[in-house]
Amino acid sequence: MDQFTPSTDPVLNSVMWSAIVALLPLLTFFILLAVVKTRAHVAGAFALLAALLVGIFAFQMPAGLALLSATQGGVFGAFPVLWIVIMAVWLYQVTVLSGRFEDLRRVFDVIGKGDVRLQAVLIAFCFGGLLEALAGFGAPVAITATMLLALGLPPLRAAAAVLVANTAPVAFGAMAIPITTAAGLTGLHATDIASVVGRQAPLLATIVPLILLFILDGRKGLKDCWPAALVVGFSFATAQFLCSNFFSYELTDIVASLVGLGAAVLFFRVWTPKGSVAARERLGAAFDAASKNTASTTAGGGSRRATAVAVSEAAADRLTPTRTWLALFPYFLVIVVFGIAKLWKLGADVPAFLASTDVRIPWPILHDALVNAEGKPVSSTIYSFQWLSTPGTLLLITGLIVAFVYSKYNDGGRYPITVANAVKEIGRTIYRMRWAGLTIITVLALAYVMNFSGQTVSIGTWLAGTGTFFAFLSPVLGWIGTAVTGSDTSANALFAKLQQTAGLKAGIDPNLLVAGNTSGGVVGKLISPQNLAIAASAVNLEGKESVILRKVVGWSVALLLVLCTLSYLQSTPILGWMLP
């Protein structure tokens, strides 16, 4: 097959017209998803078709190479991206099957010192961060919303709180798969992108708990509980920065959530919230009614058992230290397993060994046919099969250990689970995620076709005409992408290469712009139709998505402007010192 070199101006010899034509696949995806209201995988399939047609007829890419580009993108979407997501959700499901998830919920009841506002912050922010780290894809919103409803909080405030809380952790969600995806598409180092995100997202993490108090109880809630919110937010943010820059970026959300929770435990030993009883009366918290409502809601993705909270049983059961430890065990084990895999070099260099098992596969035909301006094969046409080193496999190992431990310490059958049943749950998880998985595969195939044909480069070159101001616009693209798709991973799949190209053309650090795309996406998630629908369903407000949207859209725009300003200033000497 003849060699092909992408061009930035194949349409009328104009970068502008080429970029406008290249936008057609993205417009197809967004219009079908947001206006026509098709399902995400259907929109992805039609957008992929549009990208193929544009690549073949407008950018003059041979049809065979365009199809091969789609296959490499689809395979990358399936492994490692989808594999990581499935294993993260499965590990969470193991805690549900074992019954230990309910103990974890009780841990938050004890820590909150009886103040419904602080309990809500810990559940929505810290526990939601843990769920985002492992499950993502709407599960944190669904599960924490029903838990807040069980506390007796008004449905609208509960929905708004969990949506806003599900911002700061998103960039590192599902074991940081948005960052891993961006690195795979751009060729940049994931650790470099993560370190910059770790110098942006913590700003949100510091202030989000304060926003949650305001949403839950207005100025009175802020006045009564701001010290606790500040301690939780600051400790979460500090751990986010340290873990993403110096430990393991995949573990950022898990470490940050546990540190935030631990900081709350220590702080509550020397500080007591004010107005707890008055707040409960003011919020109209009623446990019995909330429990009945919670039992009838669905959390999506098969999580009904995990979120049907029986408050009367919680009062009767004493949470022993052993039960507390076993409830937290999976999250500590994830840190240990990933710490060994990423850092252990005493006696044996574990990271080097795991990296040596990666299989690098030049994509058939495509690798030799797709060349750069110098006539050399493009490195991104080499597919890396990370069968052992990928976070997905590490999560599988972790989950098997957790299932084994839980099966041995089942408290006389009180927590029934077997390793065999846990393994069977993998199949059930794959089935439940089949449409989400198809969406991931089609979006990654779309991204690869646009990247390899030159469509993304054309758009990036055109946008780079804004010069250094593009650093301000960078988070807006991630915000739009995530708001429409409901996934920061999908937003990075669509725009990461574009951000890199624009950065190179405008003389801006590409890592900053790709990180800006990732960070901007986190504040787009709380207004995505997918998340709004999940939140509405979880608190029995189906059909009221527009009401919830009006409650949170102002926070989304305000936080976006903060990120845009931060991104721009980081591209200048004013805050350039913040970058690694």
pLDDT in tens, the chain (580 residues): 679 999 989 999 999 999 999 999 989 988 887 788 888 788 889 999 999 999 999 999 999 999 999 999 999 989 988 888 788 788 888 988 998 888 887 787 777 777 889 999 999 999 889 888 876 666 788 778 877 886 778 999 999 999 999 998 999 987 898 999 999 889 999 999 999 999 999 999 999 999 999 999 999 999 999 999 999 999 999 999 999 999 889 889 999 999 999 999 999 999 988 888 888 888 875 443 333 333 333 333 344 333 333 343 444 467 788 998 998 898 889 888 888 887 788 788 998 999 999 999 999 999 999 998 888 898 889 999 999 988 889 989 999 999 999 999 988 778 889 999 999 999 998 998 888 888 889 888 988 998 899 998 888 888 888 888 999 999 998 898 888 677 898 889 888 988 998 999 889 999 999 999 999 999 988 888 768 877 887 787 877 788 888 899 899 999 999 999 999 999 999 999 999 8
User: Distance of CA 151 to CAs 127, 224, 283, 538, Å?
Assistant: 15, 19, 11, 14
Question: Which value, to the nearest 10 degrees, does the dihedral of the CA atoms of residues 401, 405, 407, 412 take?
Answer: -170
The Cα 237–Cα 367 span in angstroms is 42
| Beta carbons within 10 angstroms of residue 191's beta carbon | 16
Structure tokens at 305: 């058992």
The Cα 275–Cα 73 span in angstroms is 55
The Cα 523–Cα 204 span in angstroms is 9
pLDDT for position 74: 93
Segments of 309-393 assigned E as strands: 359-362, 382-385
Burial of 347 (0-12, 13-18, 19+ CB in 10 A): exposed
pLDDT for position 34: 73
- Distance between alpha carbon 521 and the CA centroid of its chain, in Å? 9
Whether residue 193 contacts residue 182, with contact meaning beta carbons closer than 8 Å, is answered with yes
Which residues, including other chains, have CB under 8 Å from residue 66's CB and lie 6 or more apart? 52, 55, 56, 449, 452, 453
Pairing, β 359-362 against β 382-385:
antiparallel
The Cα 471–Cα 505 span in angstroms is 12
pLDDT for position 125: 95
Whether residue 142 contacts residue 537, with contact meaning beta carbons closer than 8 Å, is answered with yes
The Cα 570–Cα 463 span in angstroms is 19
Q: What are the beta bridge partners of residue 87?
A: none
Whether residue 439 contacts residue 483, with contact meaning beta carbons closer than 8 Å, is answered with no
pLDDT for position 384: 92
Structure tokens at 4: 């092909």
Which among 446, 460, 560 is positioned nearest to 494, based on CA atoms? 446
The Cα 152–Cα 511 span in angstroms is 44
pLDDT for position 289: 37
Whether residue 217 contacts residue 230, with contact meaning beta carbons closer than 8 Å, is answered with no
pLDDT for position 577: 94
Which among 465, 455, 512, 462 is positioned nearest to 70, based on CA atoms? 455
The torsion angles phi and psi of 9, rounded to 5 degrees, stand at -135, 50
pLDDT for position 138: 67
Segments of 237-368 assigned E as strands: 359-362
pTM above 0.85, yes or no: no
The torsion angles phi and psi of 133, rounded to 5 degrees, stand at -65, -35
Structure tokens at 22: 């290249």
Which among 556, 557, 567 is positioned nearest to 514, based on CA atoms? 567
pLDDT for position 136: 64
pLDDT for position 135: 62
Segments of 395-447 assigned E as strands: none
pLDDT for position 137: 60
Which among 102, 557, 42 is positioned nearest to 309, based on CA atoms? 102
Which among 267, 257, 261 is positioned nearest to 228, based on CA atoms? 267
Residues in the chain: 580
Which among 38, 142, 35, 213 is positioned nearest to 541, based on CA atoms? 142
